[in-house]
A and B are shown apart, each in its own frame.
Chain A
Amino acid sequence: GEDVEQSLFLSVREGDSSVINCTYTDSSSTYLYWYKQEPGAGLQLLTYIFSNMDMKQDQRLTVLLNKKDKHLSLRIADTQTGDSAIYFCAESTKGNKLVFGAGTILRVKS
């Protein structure tokens, strides 16, 4: 079945880069997503990558996809305190459903 795994916690200093990793199992995934959730709020789409791409960059965000290893990562450059949140990795499966990882709590220390 489909499964998405992420590390649970990451702590970085302000100004450093953050790298959040994710692995997935469904090789037929078409899109892979990164969402951000702040306390008490819904999910904000950060970025997504089509499965035939290796990399996507959007301002401070860089997504790397290793389809062979089914590994996805999100790099946040120059991490700020406002980046503190939970980050969810998700894959798009048959029927356009999303399967989410458990979320990675990013804590940014000033």
Chain B
Amino acid sequence: GAVVSQHPSRVICKSGTSVKIECRSLDFQATTMFWYRQFPKKSLMLMATSNEGSKATYEQGVEKDKFLINHASLTLSTLTVTSAHPEDSSFYICSARAVGTDSPLHFGNGTRLTVT
């Protein structure tokens, strides 16, 4: 089945630093990947849609300069949390769908970010 790999699974960083999270589709190509954020005991909130070769589309209320998204190839999207603050601590999950199909979204295992 379709596999989405996310790295790292956990990261701890200091306030003011930047953190990059990678999302890879291992056995399929994805023109579109989605980045979600999950707060404790809450549902998933879509942050942005990552489009291969073009700018990401951000949801309302999500700062594009703070959460930089790059989708440089059909199998890789990255999310960089810039100048991280403790309130950015969260669980970030990416998802992807194979190109040209109606197949369902498959999710990575998530990245637990802790900003100290």
Return the chain B residue nearest A47 by Cβ. B104
- CA of A101 to CA of B97, assembled, Å: 20
* B34 CB–A CB distance under 8 Å: yes
- CA of A8 to CA of B6, assembled, Å: 28
* B44 CB–A CB distance under 8 Å: yes
- CA of A100 to CA of B107, assembled, Å: 13
Chain A neighbourhood of B46, CB < 8 A: 97-99
CB of B16 to closest CB in A, whole Å: 26
Q: Is the interface on chain B under 10, 10 to 19, 20 to 34, or 35 or more residues?
A: 20 to 34
CB of A48 to closest CB in B, whole Å: 5
The one of B49, B93, B104, B108 that contacts A48, using a Cβ cutoff of 8 Å? B104
Chain B neighbourhood of A41, CB < 8 A: 109-110
* B43 CB–A CB distance under 8 Å: yes
* A82 CB–B CB distance under 8 Å: no
Q: Are A96 and B32 in contact, CB atoms less than 8 angstroms apart?
A: yes
Q: Which of A33, A48, A97 has the most CB of B within 10 A?
A: A97
Q: Are B44 and A100 in contact, CB atoms less than 8 angstroms apart?
A: yes
- CA of A96 to CA of B44, assembled, Å: 15
| Segment 2-43 of A: residues with Cβ below 8 Å from B | 30-31, 33, 35, 40-43
- CA of A104 to CA of B102, assembled, Å: 26
The one of A33, A40, A44, A102 that contacts B112, using a Cβ cutoff of 8 Å? A40
A: residues with CB less than 8 A from B are: 30-31, 33, 35, 40-45, 48, 88, 95-103
